[in-house]
Amino acid sequence: MKYTQLGRTGLEVSRLVLGTMNFGPQTDEAASHAIMDAALGAGINFFDTANVYGWGENKGRTESIIGNWFAKGGDRRDKVVLATKVYGNMSGDDSVWPNHHKLSAVNIRRAVDASLKRLQTDYIDVYQFHHIDRNTPFDEIWQAIDVLIQQGKILYVGSSNFPGYKIAQANETAARRGGTIGLVSEQCLYNLAERRAEMEVIPAAQDYGLGVIPWSPLHGGLLGGVLKKQAESGRRASGRAADALADPAQRAQIQAYEDLLDKHGLQPGEAALAWLLTRPGVTGPIVGPRTAEQLDSAIRATELELSEELLAGLDEIFPGPGPSPEAFAW
């Protein structure tokens, strides 16, 4: 496994990030533990989760599964760079009880203590804001974070789903306050089929020294060889992939993508991950395997070297928007 530093920090993390969103809802605890053991055995040291994973009445379940895995010992916790998130509603029902969501100082304090308990650890390496909070000023957010850092409960702070201007606001506020490292990472939707992050989010992240952690690197399965799988199994695509394939233009685009990779003898899902690893500013994509086989495929992607000819062909099929402001002006 290859490693890199997370943004401008000295923290070394693997070029693949183990996403755990499926742990609980789609993968039971025993299988989840087996996947985490396999990931650690392969050298993946960066694990990502969120307090709301498990969803619905099972919110927090994913963190608990990870906590039970840490409790098995064997230096599991010491070897893992652990990232979790705060923002979502953690009330006990579908309604949102006041101050049990978003990024107020009171919710951040409550949420981090609850996550630490579920995760069975006394610190979180990277504590991430899962979404922007339009109603809470960054001065308040950083005040709450400063306290948690002083208490040793968190070490670094990251963002997720932030636009470029919010990355700038967050880090300019941190710099003005002094003593706060600011955001060191940004999780964003980024893949071959969804490249809008290249306009402003990724440039902002690079300018402020944030590592970029793409989520949904296969775009809901669309980039994972969906047409070939459909032809072989007869099963129709679902979710985001089905919506995209219903559009003749997008279906033709995916067919061209699969044909190109077939010509080069590559698996689509592995090539999509390998492409992200070539992109400037990217620390590593989040992979969310439901099975050990899917994890093995993701690991193989880290060893792929894509030729200039192939990279040019991918750009022709998925050209991306280009940088801002040229993407929408001159």
Hey, which residues are catalytic here?
A: 53
CB atoms within 10 A of CB 302: 19
Helix (H, G, I), strand (E, B) or coil at 99: coil
With beta carbons less than 8 A apart as the criterion, state whether 40 and 51 touch.
no
Count of helix runs (H) and strand runs (E) in the chain: 13, 10
Cα 108 to chain center, whole Å?
20
Token couple for 314: 């991918």
Do residues 24 and 35 lie in contact, with contact meaning Cβ atoms separated by under 8 Å? no
Residue 323, SS3 per DSSP: coil
Q: Is 285 helix (H, G, I), strand (E, B) or coil?
A: coil
DSSP string, 170-228: HHHHHHHH-S---EEEEEEE-BTTB-GGGTTHHHHHHHTTPEEEEE-TTTTTTTS-HHH
Tracing tokens 């669309």 back to the chain, one arrives at 222
| Cα dist from 17 to 81, 120, 285, whole Å | 10, 21, 6
58 contacts: CB under 8 Å, gap ≥ 6: 24, 25
Give dist(CA 146, CA 61) in Å, integer: 28
